[in-house]
């Protein structure tokens, strides 16, 4: 296997010149670059990525922190982030924080030790103090971490209004909203506020029930769905995440409640699971691909010490379904 010194000897230049030509497209004269590239091709030289990264003081790796990839929203998000970063020349390192102690601290330590170039943080951590004062590149995804860290998120105010409009078309009288933990400070909470403002203006009763912190599975959602139907016998509309509303649909069918005749359902996120199952769920779709592309471009801009003019907020849309 050819080494860099073999390329230098073949091209008649120094090892340093070969390194500079390979790592910097504009280095040297056209003749020098041509000699080096010809030697690389002849010897089938494959540059050491580790050596290249050391010379550039980069790992070309971005960390992604989410609660879990078992949840459809985070599964779609991670896939979109990985693809976007790949096309920008970066690899990804994934950290799922649910049921793991100090997982974020490990990633922050790796960032500060230059074992990765930046972090896209979307976990539902209750302790955001670990992000204060960090100088390395960090982007928050739908989380409030600190005033200095940019937040990429959907326009949840618009999302709440879209959900409200869907229910108002069908004369609902009592709607239950399923939210995540109220302890977590996230822009997503704005869709409940916007939804309630619209519904109250139209005289529609709303009640909010919350899932426990870091509860993202079907088991917790099914248990809460059973509780909702037990506690609110007159409920005729339910709004919540895809998993929560899917669970409510399953429980409603078991109880003989007709959807959408007796019960209207609107899911919030609009991932693939809303289009599968017993019937297609009416859903507010977060623009996951656009959000991921923006987050990826922004973290790379920060890594390169640049600013970009990409938006931080992206509009959701309403996906028509069979439940509302």
Q: Which residues of 187-200 are buried (b: 16+ CB within 10 A; e: fewer)?
A: bbbbbbebbbebbe
Q: What is the pLDDT of residue 130?
A: 84
Task: Give how far Cα 152 sits from Cα of 4, 49, 66, 132, Å.
Answer: 42, 31, 14, 18
CATH number for 61-154+288-313 (one of 3.40.50.2300, 3.40.50.620, 3.40.1350.10, 3.40.50.1100): it is 3.40.50.2300
Angle at 142 between CA 315 and CA 90, to 5 degrees: 95
Q: What is the pLDDT of residue 40?
A: 85
Asked whether 162 and 155 are in contact (CB, 8 A), the reply is no
In sequence order, the 6+-apart residues with CB closer than 8 A to the CB of 298 are 139, 150, 152, 308, 310
Question: Both tokens of residue 149?
Answer: 């860290």
**Backbone conformation region of residue 149, classed left if phi is above 0, alpha if psi is from -120 to 50, else beta:** beta
Burial classification of residue 226, based on how many CB atoms lie within 10 Å of its CB (0-12 exposed, 13-18 middle, 19 or more buried): middle
Q: What is the pLDDT of residue 24?
A: 67
Q: What is the pLDDT of residue 307?
A: 81
Domains in the chain: boundaries: 4-56, 61-154+288-313, 156-287
Q: Is 314 helix (H, G, I), strand (E, B) or coil?
A: strand
Q: Which CATH superfamily is domain 4-56 in?
A: lambda repressor-like DNA-binding domains (1.10.260.40)
Average pLDDT in the chain: 88
Whole-model pTM? Answer: 0.81
Q: What is the pLDDT of residue 51?
A: 56
263 HSE (CA, 13 A, CB side):
24
Percent of the chain with pLDDT over 70: 93
Cis-peptide into 141, omega within 30 deg: no
Q: Which residues of the chain have pLDDT under 50?
A: none
CATH number for 156-287 (one of 3.40.50.300, 3.30.70.270, 3.30.1490.20, 3.40.50.2300): it is 3.40.50.2300
Q: What is the pLDDT of residue 25?
A: 64
Evaluate whether 61-154+288-313 and 156-287 have a shared fold. yes
């Amino acid at each position: 296997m050819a080494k860099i010194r073999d390329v230098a000897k073949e091209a008649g230049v120094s090892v340093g010149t070969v390194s500079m030509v390979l790592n910097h497209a504009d280095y040297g004269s056209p003749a020098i670059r041509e000699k080096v590239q010809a030697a690389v091709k002849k010897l089938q030289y494959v540059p050491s990525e580790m050596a290249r990264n050391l010379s550039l003081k980069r790992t070309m790796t971005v960390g992604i922190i989410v609660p879990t990839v078992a949840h459809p929203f985070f599964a779609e998000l991670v896939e979109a982030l990985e693809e976007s970063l790949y096309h920008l020349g970066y690899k990804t390192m994934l950290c799922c924080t649910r049921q793991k102690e100090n997982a974020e601290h490990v990633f922050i330590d790796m960032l500060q030790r230059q074992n990765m170039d930046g972090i896209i943080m979307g976990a539902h951590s209750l302790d955001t103090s670990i992000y204060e004062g960090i100088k390395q590149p960090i982007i928050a995804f739908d989380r409030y971490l600190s005033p200095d860290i940019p937040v990429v998120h959907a326009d949840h105010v618009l999302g709440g209004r879209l959900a409200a409009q869907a229910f108002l078309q069908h004369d609902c009288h009592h709607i239950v909203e399923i939210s995540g933990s109220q302890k977590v400070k996230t822009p997503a909470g704005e869709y409940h506020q916007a939804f309630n403002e619209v519904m109250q203006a139209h005289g529609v009763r709303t009640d909010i029930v919350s899932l426990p912190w870091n509860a993202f599975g079907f088991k917790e959602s099914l248990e809460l769905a059973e509780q909702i139907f037990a506690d609110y016998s007159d409920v005729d509309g339910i709004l919540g995440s895809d998993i929560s509303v899917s669970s409510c649909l399953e429980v409603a069918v078991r109880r003989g409640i007709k959807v959408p005749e007796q019960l209207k359902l609107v899911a919030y996120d609009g991932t693939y699971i809303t289009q599968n199952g017993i019937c297609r769920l009416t859903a507010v779709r977060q623009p996951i691909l656009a959000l991921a592309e923006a987050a990826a471009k922004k973290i790379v801009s920060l890594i390169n010490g640049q600013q970009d003019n990409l938006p931080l907020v992206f509009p959701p849309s309403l996906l028509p379904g069979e439940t509302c």
